[in-house]
A and B are shown apart, each in its own frame.
Chain A
Amino acid sequence: MNRRMGTRLVWAVLAGSAADLAGLGLIAAAAWLITRAAEQPPLAALSVAIVATRAFATGKGVFRYAERLTGHDVALRAQAGTRERLYQALIPPQRPRHGGADLLSRMVDDTEAVQDLLVRCLLPAAAAAMAGLAAVVIGLTILPVTALVLVAGLVLAGVVLPAGTATAARRWSARIAPARAALAGRVADLVHGAADLAAYGADDAALARALAADESLAALERRQARVHAAALAGGTLVQGLTVAAVVLLAQGAGAGSVGTAVLALTSLVAFEPVLPLAAAGERMAGITAALRRLREVRSAEPAVGEPAAPAPLPGGPLTVEIDDLVVRHAAREASPAGVAPPAVSSPHPAPAPGGPGSPAAAGSGEAVHGGRPALDGVSLRLTPGKRVAVVGPSGAGKSTLLAALMRLVEPESGTITVNGTDLRELAGDDVRTLMTGLTQDPYIFRAGLRDNLRLAGPEAGDEELRRAVRDARLGAWVERTGWDTELGEDGRTVSGGQLQRLALARALLYDPPVLLLDEPAEALDEETADRLMADLLDVTRDRTTLLVTHRLKGLETVDEVVVLDEGRVVQRGRHEELVSVPGYYRDLWESEVLTRR
């Protein structure tokens, strides 16, 4: 694969060089033809030049076409390779990163830098080097001293200038990026905060601030344009002065009109592929930054370790035991907005770390403390057929518990065992065949419903699909939408309720020995949530299930309810027991009962 890539790359470079060389040859042959013809030699002396002129003219176009095709082909292959490596690096569970979906989009955009690097920087540079070399060789054969001048000019325009623009572009993008971010922030304030601004009569002031941010960005961009302008001017200057110097030297050395003309015109044309390299240099700043970001992603440690020799999967009915589990999320570095991490001893809940993508802090809940473990000594036993519900305020560690069971986070201490085997001795993928289900933020792929379900059961037949859909109470919707209508971003929009039901159908289709359900009624309106929860409690009867929820209706049917708060189990027991004693559970239950019609 790699060698074939290398061969393709060589072909692309050859085609590009051939195109530039043909351009050089065309002008050299034409110059020779004309100046030699002026000396009125016999016609036969010109025939080679005439043929060469025509051949080079045709070759230039054809080789250019070949270069562009082979170049883009290589670039697309290289990009595919980069994407594959990136994907492979992302497969093991990742530590949560900042930025969520935006970050992923940028990562995917970054892989396009490889294409830019090849098509717009490396291949043109290689071809320009070949053309420059050829011009220097012509100079050497006619008058060596002119070759020296030409080398100086070409290096100046093709190496020094691009290096300068690359450096300047890097510096300027470092200065412009904050101004750009400030403007984006101001604009976001205007758009997202429109209601607050209008209600408090502060919209004029906010508009003025946005315009001020625009003005400071524009001022920086105007100054950046000078770099680009200077590079343009420098290129023109170097090219023109080199040609003038070559002519001066050639005439001074008595190189003759033929030699001088050929030297002058080849020098002039040799710069043509070289001058665009300054713009390529400007691009390099962005490209290297993108490639560096990709390297960082690829070299990031996965969130959990994998055993060297994974233990075999335990068989039979599964008993899961969680013993004194402590999980601590890696503390976040100081936030970009300048809010320092709060002191651990702070008595009040303070704005605290826990990225938007981290399991415990996702959504809208109170963020977790940097120093406090997300789970702090949790023990739990799930025997075959038992259903356990985990409730508690947001940020209590409910989702972290599921993540630990799915081997997505590494516990600090304590153990999780499945039929006596420690999870750490099992391969992560194997763990997730035992314990999985409806995870946080389920994703709908841009595909039909059938394919969206099949990812949880590639072998599933139509009958099984239909049953899963029926059990998730998605049947009516499927009849309206159809099995193969494209869903997802550009396809049909899927409402929150349908999305959760689709995710539930997936979980039921997969039918893991231990079913995990993370806030299945999240983001649904009351009525839909009630119906979904009722259905769900119905279909999970006699399945080993761990249900994370903040809705208590129907929990009288589960075998145990565990109340988590700040990572600790504060209450546990059956529903009837918990509502009979004061505490978080009873408060929540009463509040819920009262809001029901």
Chain B
Amino acid sequence: MHKDLLRLMRAERSVRRHLAVTMAAALLAGLLVLVQAELLAGVLSGRFTAAALAGLAAVVCVRALLAWTQGVFAGRTATGVKSALRHRLLARLRELGPGRLAAHRSGELVTLAGRGLDGLDAYLTGYLPAIAVAAVVPVAVLVRLFAADLASAVIVLVTLPLIPVFGALVGMTTKAVTERQYLALSRLGGHFLDVVRGLPTLRAFGRARYQAGVIQQVADAHRSATMRTLRVAFLSSLVLELCASLSLALVAVPIGLRLLGGSLDLTTALLVLLLAPEAYLPLRAMGTRFHASMEGVAAADAAFAVLDRSAGDQGDPVRRPAAAPTASPETGTLQSGARGTAASATTGAPEIRLEGVTVRYPGRDGAALDDVSLTIGPCERVALVGESGGGKSTLLHLILGFVHPSEGRVLIDGTDLRELDLASWRARLAFVAQRPHLFATTVAGNIRLGAPSASTEEVRRAAAAAHAGFVADLPQGFDTVVGERGADFSAGQRQRIALARAFCRPGASVLLLDEPTARLDGRSEAAVVAATADLARGRTAVIVAHRPAMIDLADRVVRVHEGRIVSDTARPAGTAHPPGMPSAAQATAGLSDVPPGSGAADAAGVPSGGGADAPARDGRRTADVRCEEGGR
């Protein structure tokens, strides 16, 4: 029995009720077999008249009705449990948030919460009722047998325990054999998929036909290995079958002899013959169901592993977002005034300050960010550059509240982000992820993501602003339904729809972009850059960028390497102009003076761009942070 699963079932009232009905129907049907045997034996022996056959038919009808009830309610139990588990899983996924979800294998989570739970069906609809029947019916049969004929009852009583005992013994041997062969079996079993997946590569090197022979050899080896385990595994069914059938012979032959001697009446004899198999049947059924239900147990284990994975890991950079706003009532009252101004200033661009922030992800060695201090003034446009894996995205996720600092703090207009209401803070942000997800709904619905009440006109305007004019040309325009995982749109188009999302939030005062032009070709890049330039106007913008055109939008370039800020360069005032090569040349020349991880001395020989101030290693920029764009 699965402990966690039982706990879950007890907690859900409707599931509890449905399971109870299922079990009761199964039990009642099992017990009615006794009545049926009684009636049949009586009719066959001539003790009852043929009229008793009507009773027999009635019992059969009731058993059929119970079987139907059991089936229906077992189905309800299964869907109920799966739904409950799914609810919890999905709620948990949301609770984990994007920061920690990244640590899971997302594909596995999707499968688990979808198809994976269907494995529970066999466990819930088959195995659980079988357990109940196996616990009650054999006992009832034995009691009736003892009342009818002591000698037969003793034979059944003695042989009955052999079934679970032999079952367990053979089961253990099977397990040992399977475990010994597990690696070989899974290797051989996975070989075919491996070869089929690699077929294009095999074809390229002329090895495809050769592998056909290998496939056959491996299939033969797999079959031999499987049969070796099965020869042992099926011993259990051999033993169970023999136990049951030999016991029947053991019961029937002495009964026959005693009938011959006249010491037993025919009704009892027939009753014993009919009942004896019913004592073994539930145990054998339970054994069969057990094997079929193993997949479900594995699914339940996987689900509970996700649910139980401790939320309070030490050094965990992500805390429950929901806990933040209500966590500290004292600071809340102290800062209510400050928060009031913050709330009323949602249209104004805030100052974002990182103070000695270190972020560590559980299970990873180094820190993703290591003692980083950085101040981003209102309306400042900062480009984050550097190698992938250096910590740029983590920096964005910090500001978004997806991850929390292990050390240090993030201040928004002087208030610790952890004391702010995350939802209302995020309402001031417009974020475009590196690979934005398009949801399985209409394009309009996707653009409206952050502004559910936006009118059609506003959606259209946002799309136009994001240079996503292609949407209007689609056959169904903004009502086009996005294919699974955005498969029907190119990377550039996805990116522009995501930008339209940001435009559809006119109130947002902070723009956070994660490599918006990575993986785009020249034409798409130009459109996205132009859209970004519009969007950044009058807002604080933090842009993770690789390409010169995008870096060109920024008035300050911060290079992040191995979790540290290695250079922080202001671009000369007035160079912020539409994307173009010449200005980008200046910007990147300015950036190029500090190679990641090297000291300033290495940079001495590299031509340095005019006007770039020396990088302040603590990241605290003393230069003014006037809101140059604010007046536009």
Contacts and interface: CB of A to CB of B under 8 A. Distances in A.
A104 B197 contact: yes
B484 interface: yes
Given A53-B252, A233-B64, A439-B204, A34 B270 contact: yes
Contact of A257 (B46, B222, B498): B46
Contacts of A180: 114-115
Contacts of A335: 483, 488
B208 interface: yes
Interface in A32-48: 33-38, 40-41, 43, 46
A152 B205 CA distance: 62
Contacts of A221: 75, 78-79
Given A53-B253, A84-B219, A193-B437, A203 B450 contact: no
B201 interface: yes
Q: How large is the interface on B (under 10, 10 to 19, 20 to 34, 35 or more residues)?
A: 35 or more
Nearest to B482: A337
A191 B93 CA distance: 7
B304 to A, nearest CB: 18
Nearest to A228: B71
A348 interface: yes
Contact of A198 (B426, B470, B475): B426
A142 interface: no
B194 A488 contact: yes
B109 interface: yes
B67 A53 contact: no
A526 B389 CA distance: 12
Report, nearest first, the 4 A-B pairs whose CB atoms are least far apart: A225-B75, A229-B71, A240-B60, A200-B450
Nearest to B96: A194
A69 interface: yes
B65 interface: yes
Interface in A316-365: 335-340, 342-343, 346-351, 356, 364-365
A597 B592 contact: yes
A202 B65 CA distance: 47
Contacts of A34: 252, 255-256, 259, 266, 269-270, 273
Interface in B59-101: 59-61, 63-65, 67-72, 74-76, 78-80, 82-83, 86-87, 90-91, 93-94, 97-98, 101
A584 B521 CA distance: 11
B137 to A, nearest CB: 15
A206 interface: yes
Contact of A222 (B36, B79, B205): B79
B171 to A, nearest CB: 16
A591 B64 contact: no
A224 B209 CA distance: 45
A406 interface: yes
Contact of A394 (B67, B206, B260, B521): B521
B521 A365 contact: yes
B522 A436 contact: no
Contact of A366 (B113, B125, B215, B492): B492
Interface string B383-416: 0000111000000000010100000000000000
Interface string B593-607: 001000000000000
B204 A91 contact: no
B314 to A, nearest CB: 24
B65 A233 contact: yes
B248 A196 contact: no
B259 A26 contact: no
Interface string B416-429: 00000001001101
Contacts of B219: 76, 79-80, 83-84
Interface stretch (B327-335, B354-362, B365-373, B545-553): B545-553
B44 A260 contact: yes
Nearest to B208: A91
A429 B242 contact: no
A57 B246 contact: yes
Given A339-B475, A351-B470, 17 more contacts: A57-B245, A58-B242, A108-B192, A180-B114, A192-B485, A194-B101, A221-B78, A229-B75, A244-B60, A247-B44, A248-B53, A335-B483, A350-B473, A350-B474, A436-B204, A489-B190, A503-B201
Contacts of B584: 594
Contacts of A229: 67-72, 74-75
A446 B188 CA distance: 11
B216 interface: yes
A191 B436 CA distance: 12
Contacts of B237: 64-65, 68
A205 B547 CA distance: 35
A316 B114 CA distance: 58
A527 B388 CA distance: 10
B319 interface: no
Provide the main secondary structure of the chain A interface.
Answer: helix
A148 interface: no
A235 B71 CA distance: 13
Given A222-B76, A260-B44, A336-B483, A436 B205 contact: yes
A26 B248 contact: yes
A497 B588 CA distance: 26
Interface in A488-537: 488-490, 503, 506, 510, 525-527
Given A26-B248, A46-B256, A61-B241, A76 B208 contact: no
A59 to B, nearest CB: 9
A594 B585 contact: yes
A251 interface: yes
Nearest to B113: A187
B106 interface: yes
Contacts of B115: 180, 184
A196 B431 contact: yes
A194 B98 contact: yes
A469 B257 CA distance: 83
Interface in A547-565: none
Given A91-B203, A201-B450, A455-B202, A58 B60 contact: no
B2 interface: no
B483 A243 contact: no
A185 B82 CA distance: 17
Interface string B184-215: 00110011111111111111111111111001
B523 interface: yes
Interface in A224-283: 224-226, 228-237, 239-241, 243-244, 247-248, 251-252, 257, 260-261, 264-265
A91 B255 contact: no
Interface in B216-245: 216, 219-220, 222-223, 226-227, 230-231, 234-235, 237-239, 241-242, 245
Given A30-B248, A34-B259, A346 B75 contact: no
Interface string B533-551: 0000000000000111100
8 contacts: A68-B237, A83-B215, A199-B431, A236-B67, A364-B490, A458-B207, A525-B388, A584-B522
A409 interface: no
B249 A54 contact: yes
B501 interface: yes
A487 to B, nearest CB: 11
A188 interface: yes
A429 B210 CA distance: 12
Nearest to A75: B223
A388 to B, nearest CB: 19
**Most chain B C-beta atoms within 10 Å of own C-beta, residue among A68, A86, A239:** A68
A31 B230 contact: no
A339 B260 contact: no
Contact of A591 (B80, B187, B450, B547): B547
Given A46-B260, A187-B110, A191-B101, A365 B491 contact: yes
